[in-house]
Amino acid sequence: MGKRLSMMDAVFLAGESRESMMHVGGLFPFTPPRDAPPNLLRALSEELKASPTVTDPWNLKLRFPELLKNPLQSWVEDEDFDIDYHVRRSALPTPGDERELGILVSRLHGIPLDFHRPPWEVHFIEGLTGGRFALYFKIHHALIDGYTSMKMLAASLSTDPDARTTPMFFTQPPRRRTPQPVTPDPMAAPDATGDQALTDVNPPTLTDLVMATAREQYGAAREAGRALMNVVRAARAHDRDLVAPMQAPRSIFNCRITRNRRFATQQVAMERVRAIARTSGGTLNDVCLALCAAGLRRLLLELDALPPQPLIAMLPVNIRPKGDPGGGNAVGAILASLATDVEDPAARLDAIIASTSRAKEQLQGLTRSAILQYSAMLMAPMSLQTMTGLGGRTRPAFNVVVSNVPGPDRPLYFRGARLDAVYPLSIPFHGYGLNITINGYVDTLNFGYTGCRDALPKLQRLAVYGGEALDELERAVGGG
């Protein structure tokens, strides 16, 4: 039968279309070691072809590739796995610069994956100035989410610059989950030692398990419903801080999109962002949102397209327990104002902090199941638009996705080459033609702007403005 898809995985697969391709990716530029041979990538390519051992999940393909919405869809092993198809070499005209690299990656990200094969690719790109090279990696969100794929890809890297034999990510066996200690039920009576009393002699029956699951889901639904009613009441009271679904204004990138993509990057020092966060009383994520908001406000003003109401961001929330190795899709969501209607940078940051604080308050005390249900309720208008084909034709549920993914805090190396940055690429789709994802790496924050080429043609300018906004915030708030 193969490995069945989870409900969330099936949603990403069902969302696949010619224009809305549901794959995520990453761009990883490297500086080679001084002793690197000139044919480094060719030698590596030949090495991979000589030992094409591929492990789960990298060897899995869809059982029914022509029927993506099949309820019986599952993953099966590709018995004719072709490593030459999945691992490729590309070259920029020498000497290649960052702009040419961005153009190439934009084009690669706009090409759909082949579902008759395991849905992933990795491209070795050479020709950058100074002998530098890059890896571009993409994978369908139905197979692995961004959190998991980043952790698996990092397994191909080493903290030792002299390590030259680290195997590629797709040849390494999958990480096994370490059993987590069971969290005691706070409503149950503890025994004398403070641990949960274990007095049952007989194991639970199937009926017991079904009833327990039903009670859990019912309780989660009640919790999620109460949190959603808080949002509804805030909207009726014209509370600007707690954002409700469908509160977002129309904007130029909330439209029907094409398959063409544009990708831009920005890198800022993490300590500068943290200093502003300390001074303002916000979080690092709040300051990142303020940088995105400043860039969007400036660009939309130039295009005479800034809505009078504030743009609204959807912020994915990772709800995995600490130490979870990943796997599948386990993401909640909140909505927050970007305060793009506020001219003063300091006041704009204050408004963002107030909005994210209120949004996070709704999640306090909720179980993981309740957070997922609450998030599904918040995202229901967007999901309905996607399923009915109304995305980009009606008012958006939000304007832009902004997510922040923690990354390695130590420098990493690939066969002796130092990883310089981690730039994420994500998913624009109908009605939501811009996605901004941020990855931390050592002492930097790396912004990846992925957009529809036709809906937002000045994407590189947006990335530049986001970087310049850091100087502006330091002057306005302090902390620099």
The answer to whether domain 217-477 has CATH 3.30.559.30 is yes
- Check pLDDT > 90 for residue 200: no
User: Which pLDDT belongs to residue 386?
Assistant: 78
Provide mean pLDDT across the span 5-27. Answer: 86
Decide which of 423 and 332 is more confident.
423
Give the number of C-alpha atoms closer than 13 A to the C-alpha of residue 154, restricted to the C-beta side: 20
The catalytic position among 86, 109, 141, 430 is: 141
pLDDT at 457: 79
Q: In the CATH hierarchy, which top-level class contains the domain 3-171?
A: alpha beta
- Residue ranges of the chain that CATH labels 3.30.559.10: 3-171
| CB contact at 8 A, 456 and 462 | yes
123 given a catalytic annotation = no
Higher-scoring residue by pLDDT: 45, 179: 45
Using one digit for the tens of pLDDT, what is the confidence trace for 413-463? 998 999 999 999 999 999 999 999 999 999 999 999 999 999 887 899 999
Band the pLDDT of 206: cuts 50, 70, 90: very low
Comparison of pLDDT for 205 and 444, the residue scoring more: 444
What is the C-alpha separation between 243 and 235, in angstroms, rounded? 7
pLDDT tens digits, residue range 241-293? 778 788 899 999 999 999 999 999 999 999 999 999 999 999 999 999 999 99
At 131 the pLDDT is: 86
In sign, the C-alpha dihedral spanning 161, 163, 168, 174 is negative
| Average of per-residue pLDDT values in the chain | 82
pLDDT of residue 325: 47
Q: Where, residue-wise, is CATH 3.30.559.30 in the chain? A: 217-477
Name residues whose C-beta falls within 8 Å of residue 154's C-beta, 6 or more positions apart in sequence: 408, 412
Strand partners, 318: 331
What's the pLDDT score for residue 182?
36
Name the CA dihedral angle for 323, 123, 114, 173, rounded to a multiple of 10 degrees: -40
Backbone angles phi, psi at 88, to 5 degrees: -130, 160
Instruction: Please determine, for residue 4, whether its predicted confidence score (pLDDT) is greater than 70.
Output: yes
